[in-house]
Amino acid sequence: MTQILLVLSAVFLVGAQVSAPSNPAPATIQYVGAVSINPSQDAKVLADWYERLGIQTHEAKGGYYGTFPTVAGPFFFAIHPRRSNASAKSSGSMAVVFRVSNYDLYLANAAKNNVVPRSTESDSEGRFAHFIDPDGNEVTIWGS
C-alpha cells in the first residue's frame, strides 16, 4: 500500500512539473481602467460638470460613480466626496485624457452644455481640447 501511494505521489509530482510553465508571461498593464477624483471639493458640482461633458454618473454615499465600455474593457469613473479632514483646497493635480470617436461632434455637444475648452491644439497624434473642471483638474478630449 505504501509503495502504491509513493508511485501515485511520484506520478502526480511528475505531472505537475511537466504542466507547470517554465517562464510565465510577464505581468503588464493592459489599459487604464478607472479614474478616481479624490477628494472633490463638491462632488455634486463636479458630477454635474462631467455630465455636461458626457460622462453619466450615479450618486452613492455622497460620491458619484459611472462606467462606460471601451474597446479594451470597461472604464470606471469616480468622484469621491470631500472628507471632513481634507485640506481646504484641492491641489488640482489630477489630469485625465478621454479618447473620443468624433472629436468635432463631441466638442459641439460639450459646447451646447456650456463646457468650452480653455485651449485646443493638434499634432501628429491627433487633436486635443483642454478643459479645467470645477475642482481645478485638467481634462483633455483627444480625437482625430
Domain ranges of the chain: 32-82+94-143
> Is the pLDDT at 86 greater than 50, yes or no?
yes
CATH of domain 32-82+94-143: 3.10.180.10
Please name the residues in contact with 38: beta carbons below 8 A apart, sequence gap of 6 or more: 78, 80
Q: Which amino acid is at 19?
A: S
Give Cα separations from 42 to 16, 63, 81, 88 (angstroms).
55, 10, 7, 11
Greater confidence, 48 or 14?
A: 48
Rounded Cα distance between 59 and 131, Å, is 23
Q: According to the model, what pLDDT value does residue 93 have? A: 65
User: Of 39-48, 89-98, 116-125, 128-137, where does mean pLDDT reach its minimum?
Assistant: 89-98
Rounded Cα distance between 14 and 25, Å, is 22
> How high does pLDDT run on average in the chain?
79
Confidence of residue 131 (pLDDT cuts 50, 70, 90): very high
Average pLDDT over residues 7-14: 39
Give Cα separations from 64 to 12, 19, 42, 102, 103 (angstroms).
51, 46, 11, 26, 26
Q: According to the model, what pLDDT value does residue 138 have? A: 87
User: Of 27-31, 113-117, 119-123, where does mean pLDDT reach its minimum?
Assistant: 27-31
Q: According to the model, what pLDDT value does residue 27 have? A: 55
